[in-house]
Amino acid sequence: MSDIKRLDSGPRMSQAVIHNGVVYLAGQVGNPGDSAADQTKVILQKIEKLLSEAGSDTSRILQATIWLASMDDFAAMNEVWDAWVDPANPPARACGESKLATLDYTVEIIVVAATNS
């Protein structure tokens, strides 16, 4: 049986779980109250850090799920995303509108990636 490794675990959840060469990230959020673009920038920095800790990187992202509190923020989020995502290795991606944990959050991103091993 393969080992399961958990990163930044708390009583409710882990920020990342690694199993069989795949990294599953928890939904990442930015700073409450910031603009959607600024929240997206912070989220993508968190994703990069977690992927690095898990032995992966942005070129190995397999899937991204993006939740927006309002689709009105789609263009602002995409502008930041498009400047960040590896254009040679874009992941499968979905984006939808959803009520997030608090009204102060406008973007949440969930990523699944392959490890480098």
The whole-angstrom separation of Cα 65 and Cα 92 is 9
Contacts for 32 with CB less than 8 Å, ≥ 6 apart = 102, 104, 105
Q: What is the pLDDT of residues 13-39, one digit of tens each?
A: 999 999 999 999 999 999 999 999 999
- The domain limits of the chain are 4-114
Give the per-residue pLDDT at 86: 94
For residue 84 the two structure tokens come to: 């960040």
For residue 69 the two structure tokens come to: 């509190």
Pick the CATH number of 4-114 from 3.30.428.10, 3.30.1330.40, 3.40.50.970, 3.40.50.720: 3.30.1330.40
Q: What is the pLDDT of residues 33-89, one digit of tens each?
A: 999 999 999 999 999 999 999 999 999 999 999 999 999 999 999 999 999 999 999
